[in-house]
Every structure is written in structure tokens, then in C-alpha cells.
Chains A and B, each alone.
Chain A
Amino acid sequence: MKSTRALILAFLALLFAWVGQVAIGYIQVGRLEPVLNEETNYTEPPVPSGLAQTGARVFASEGCIECHSLSVRGPIGSSDLTRGWGQRRSVPRDYLFREPALVGFSRIGPDLSNIGERIKDPAEMTMHLYDPRQRKPASTCPPHPWLFEKRIAGPKTENDALPLTPINWKQTVPSYSAKALVAYLQSLNLNYALPEAPLK
């Protein structure tokens, strides 16, 4: 076999994978658009706020994806839905505005696709990040104290300070990264219907 012929063959074989998946994938799911909810007049999936988009990067950098997936699997009656991780399965349209778009490959903890619906109180979620065992004593999730700042407590505690007893007159306040991460987690909500994935 001549080297040029081998080169062309190898190139074509590799191109087959790219064209077959990325190009056709782009045509099939890259052109999906959000759907207008006529009741609320909002589009779905909703466009996340700037803070939530920053939070998506914090989520990635903290390696949350090593233990939590972001994909609810169907069909109706499946384990994911029965466990209450969502009211429907995840579909490509759900990921339209995700940046970075993560799915995950391991579940040491629960799926987080719908965590915004399960934990609605941002303060509770912030507390979970600081010390997961305060919320769930058996949790194996590691604490993330580096996402919080210790500040001297004034006569009045700050609004977003954690409800902990100040030590050495210092209160625990979430940093910008922690707030962004909470905003991102709150934005993870599959509680809307799509034409290809109606709510159960």
C-alpha cells in the first residue's frame, strides 16, 4: 500500500466520524430553538442569568460532575423519575443554553438536573455547600469552606451570612463563587414541558 493512499484512507475514515456525528448532530440538534410557553410568555428552557452562567463554571471547576450527573433518564416509571430527580427525562433541548454543557459519567450522589426544584431555598443550598452534613447527616458530599469568607461581624450580621454562631466575632459569608454556584444550581430545573418531553 502506498503511503499517500493510506493517508487518504485514514483521513476519510476520521472524517466519517466527524461528519457523521458533529455535522449531522449540528443539523439535527444544533438548530433546536427554545419553545414559547403561552401561559407564562417565557421561553423554555429559560435563559440562565449571568450569575448562573458564572456558577456553571464554578460547578465544573469544583469537580461536582465527578459525583453528580446532569441527565434524567426515562421512560416513565424509570428509577430516575421514581427517585424524584425530575418529572420527565432530559432531552437535547434542555442543554441549549448550558455553557459548559455537562452530562456527567458517574453518580456517587444524586442527579442534579432538577435540583432547583428540589431545594428551592437558596439559603439551604448555600448551607449545603458549606457543610452538607448540616442538612443531611449521612451525606458523603465533601464540604466546600473555601467558597466562603470569614468576616468580622458588625453589630448586625450580614443578610447572606450563614446561620452559624460567630467564632471570634467572625461570621461566615458566601463568596461570589458560592453565590454564583447557588444561582446555577437553582437554575437547574426541568419543571417545564417540551413538545418532545411532556411532564409526566
Chain B
Amino acid sequence: MTSSSAPYSKASSASLVLLGGSIFWSLLAGGLQIISTIQLLIPLLSRLLPISFFSYGRLVPASTFLLTYGWIGSGLLGALLILAPRISGIPFRYGRFLIGGALLWHLAVLIGFTQILWEGSTGLLSLPYSRSVTAVFFVSFLILGTGITRGLGGAWKSGPLLPRLYLLGALLAFPLGLGTAEIILRHSVAPGSVQIITQLVWHSFFNHLWLTPLALVLLFQLIPSLTGRAVSSLPLGLLAWLATFTLGGWLSNSLASDGPVPAWMQSAGVIATLLFFVAALGNGVLIKPLLEGKMDEIRRNVALRFLSVGAWAYVSAYAWLAFLSFPGVRQTTAFTMVSSATQTLLCFGFLGCVLTGSIYALLPASRNVGWPSHPALTWHFWCTTLGLAITASSYALAGIFQGLAWSDPGVPLSTISSYLRPFLCTALVGQGLWLVGQIAFSALFFSTILKLFPTTAPWAVFPTSIPNHPDAMQETHS
């Protein structure tokens, strides 16, 4: 184990920087999200503490930015830095550059976060930070992306194909989307109507062509490795990959209900969302046989548990988006809290669970360490999954009630606000649970890295009569 991981040690230091920072950002973002929900629930709070950086209008974009760029973005990049060279068997060179890239990424997140809190957001979808932050993100991504691409290998004669394809697409989508969005939105004199379309396209690129494919890389690499089964149909996988990248950029158009986006684009957005769900379903069909009959292993192995929840959340999130895109539903639920339910399903459910499962599976291989506490593993899993289920369902119900109330002109605004309170209360409980789980995870992570306690769960696997180190897992880590 030690000898096989030695060539990867430089990259693993960079990944550790990314993962450590990612967990820190997730705690901060979770805390801010709870405060903003409390502010929504008790408006009096913002009157008692009238501070600009503590206002709802700044806390919400700050926490969303931290969740997407800080937690998920850096976390997925960190996990891929561990995984990519293991897919191709080519170790990284110039590890210090990678560490520099990782630090730059966190610097960009820190500057962006501080700017949003102190000066406010730009208001642009998925681009709430200034040009200088974009520049730092670009430089960092150039370094990290080059490293990961090198890890992919040039000739794909052997090894898994689907993870490589998703990784390749995601690595292209981020700079292409961010670069063009930056130019059109902030460096050119594009009229406002074009800016709105550009924002929607960039929002789609960021969520569905960058973060989603990065998580799919981990799903398609780790689940087969952990279960010892191969993906059954490569043509279906290729079709789903092509559909993902062809349609992913169109998804956010279905968010625009009437308004300033041409009608044909909204229709195209609806069709793209429905077809994207079919692609997600295709990927689900590929993943399902990998997990079938493996309930015992899923129960024992926390990494596999999280990855399975992530896979379910992936299909559910896109099913939910497809449901919301239907014209009648969209008309009612646009501008309501269903968008928070979507964010919870996508960010906390799919991306977050895949990221967590990957960390549980990959960190022991990367650092030759194990996890110190079984109860903490259990707490983390149940708090996370219960938390995200409660939050997502609360926001979904709140959004539907809100939408129905909005469509009745006789219902005043204050009544709609009072309708939302019970749902906001349960969402708050869900967010609190998730944060407790994340605190347990961060305690596990940092105590593992710092080797504060003896290892009791080397591979995040609960002890049973079955050996703790399944062959499949050994394959992954070697």
C-alpha cells in the first residue's frame, strides 16, 4: 500500500489542501445558511441586528457561493486529484504547482466570500464575485486542470472509459463557460436581454456541465471498484454522456417562466430538461445493477452508502427538475422555494454525498490512514441523509404552497409568509441536522489527518464477520 501510493504523495498533499479547505467552507456555509433561514423565519432578527454583512441579502449569496465553489467545487477537485492518476496509472509531476493551485483556489473562495459579505454580490447567477476573483479561479483551474488532465493519460487503450469522458467534458466546460460568461457579462457591452440569456447558460454550465460530470466521474469510478462489478452497457453510457453534454447547457432556460427569455428558448429548455432526465435515468440504469444485491456491503461500508445515496439523489434531482419544467407546474412554482429544494437535492444530496463517499473511499488510500470512530461515521451518515431529506421535502412543500398562494391574487403577501413558517421551521431542523453531521465528519477528517486517535475503521467499513478489506476495495486503492 505504502509503496503503491508513494508516487502519488505530492498530488495527495494538494488534494488534502483542497479537501481540508472544502470541509471548512462547508461548515461555514452551513452555519450561514441556518442564520439566513432564521432571519426569514424571524424578520425581527434583522431589525435587532441591522448590520450590512449580516443581512439576508448578503448571507444567502455568500452561503450559496461557499457551498458551490468552496465546498463542492474544491472538494470534487481534491477527490479527483487523488483519483485521476489512479485511473491512468500516471503519477503527477510538479506537485508543488498543484499545491499552489489548490491554495489559489481557496484564496479565490476567500476573496469572493469576503467581497460578497462586505461589498455585496454582483447579483449575477452563479457569478456573484468580482473580475479579480474570476482571474484567480482561472489561474488555479489552469494549474489543477492541467494536473488532472495529465493524470487522465493521453492514450485511452485500457482502463475505464466513462469516468474519463465525464472528466474531459467537465474540464472543458468550466473554462469555456466561465470565460465566455465573464466576457459577455462584464467585459462587453452586450444588451441586458442577452446578459440574461448568458447568465442562464453559465448557470447551466456551472451546475450541469461542470459539477454534475465531476461527480459522475467519481460515481462511475468508485462504485464499480467498491462493488467489484463492471458497468454493463458501454453504448448506453456513451449515449448518456453525449446527452449530458449536449443538453446540460440548456437546462436553466426552464427556470425562466415567461419574462425576458424568448419563448422558443424556454420550450427548448423544457425539452432539454426532460431529455436530460432520460440521460440521468440511463446512468441510473447503469449504476443500479452495480449495487443490486449488495445491501449488506452498503450497510457496512460508509463510502458505498454515501455513493449510493448520491446516485439516488442524482436521478431524483433531475426527475424533480423535469417535473418542475412542465409548463403548468413551472408557471405555478417559478420564483418560489422549490428552487431551494432543487439546490438541496442537487448540492447536498447528489454532489455532497458523492463527494463525502469519495473522501471516505479515497483518503485511506491517499494518506495510508484510517478512520478513528465508528459512532462518528454513523452520526455523519444519518444526520446528513435525514437532514437533506427533511430540508428538501420542506422546501419542496413550501414552494408548492407558496406557488399556489401566489397564483391566487386574493391571498395577501403577509398570509403567504405565514404559510411558509412551518416549512421553514422543519427546513431549519434539517439544516441543523446536516450541520451536526458535517461537524462529525470534519472531526473525523481532521483527527484522521492529524492522526490524533488510533484507527478503528481503516476503510470506513463497520466490522462484521466478513473481512474488512474486500478485494474490490484493494483494487481501487492499489
Seen from chain A, the residues whose Cβ lies within 8 Å of a Cβ on chain B are 1-3, 6-7, 9-11, 13-14, 16-18, 20-22, 25-26, 28-30, 32, 58-67, 69, 71-74, 79, 82-83, 89-110, 133, 138, 140-146
User: Does B123 contact A79, Cβ atoms closer than 8 Å?
Assistant: no
User: Does B193 contact A100, Cβ atoms closer than 8 Å?
Assistant: no
User: Within the complex, what minimum Cβ distance (angstroms) separates B154 from chain A?
Assistant: 6
Q: Which residues of B contact A69 (CB under 8 A)?
A: 335
Which chain B residues in 150-179 approach chain A with CB under 8 Å? 152-156, 161, 164-165, 168-169, 172-173, 176-177
Residue-wise, chain B 194-238 has the 8 Å CB interface mask toward A (1 for contact) of 111111110011000100000000000000000000000000001
A29-B194, A107-B335, A142-B55 are contacts. A73–B257 as well, Cβ < 8 Å? yes
User: Does A100 contact B123, Cβ atoms closer than 8 Å?
Assistant: yes
* B258 close to A (CB within 8 Å): yes
* B309 close to A (CB within 8 Å): no
* B305 close to A (CB within 8 Å): no
User: Does A28 contact B262, Cβ atoms closer than 8 Å?
Assistant: yes
User: Does B51 contact A22, Cβ atoms closer than 8 Å?
Assistant: no
- In the complex, given contacts A25-B265, A29-B197, A71-B259, what are 4 additional A-B residue pairs having Cβ atoms less than 8 angstroms apart? A29-B193, A67-B56, A96-B191, A98-B195
A98-B192, A102-B123, A146-B51 are contacts. A83–B249 as well, Cβ < 8 Å? no
Partner of B120, one of A9, A60, A83, A103: A60
* Cα separation A144 to B123 with both chains bound (whole Å): 18
The total number of A-B Cβ pairs within 8 Å is 228
Partner of B50, one of A1, A66, A145: A145
User: Does B249 contact A59, Cβ atoms closer than 8 Å?
Assistant: no
User: Within the complex, what minimum Cβ distance (angstroms) separates B145 from chain A?
Assistant: 13
Q: Which residues of B contact A141 (CB under 8 A)?
A: 43
Least CB separation from B257: chain A residue:
A73
User: Does B407 contact A25, Cβ atoms closer than 8 Å?
Assistant: no
Least CB separation from A7: chain B residue:
B168
User: Does B192 contact A99, Cβ atoms closer than 8 Å?
Assistant: yes
Q: Sample 11 A-B pairs with CB under 8 A, ordered by A number.
A: A10-B245, A17-B201, A17-B249, A20-B250, A22-B180, A60-B121, A62-B55, A90-B258, A92-B196, A95-B195, A142-B47
Q: Which residues of B contact A83 (CB under 8 A)?
A: 409
* B372 close to A (CB within 8 Å): no
* Cα separation A82 to B408 with both chains bound (whole Å): 9
User: Within the complex, what minimum Cβ distance (angstroms) separates A148 from chain B?
Assistant: 10
Least CB separation from B40: chain A residue:
A108
* Cα separation A58 to B198 with both chains bound (whole Å): 21
Counting chain B CB atoms within 10 Å of each CB, the highest count among A17, A30, A94 belongs to A17
Partner of B414, one of A14, A30, A138: A138
Partner of A66, one of B61, B177, B407: B61
* Cα separation A133 to B48 with both chains bound (whole Å): 13
User: Does A22 contact B184, Cβ atoms closer than 8 Å?
Assistant: yes
User: Does A143 contact B47, Cβ atoms closer than 8 Å?
Assistant: yes
User: Within the complex, what minimum Cβ distance (angstroms) separates A108 from chain B?
Assistant: 7
Least CB separation from A97: chain B residue:
B192
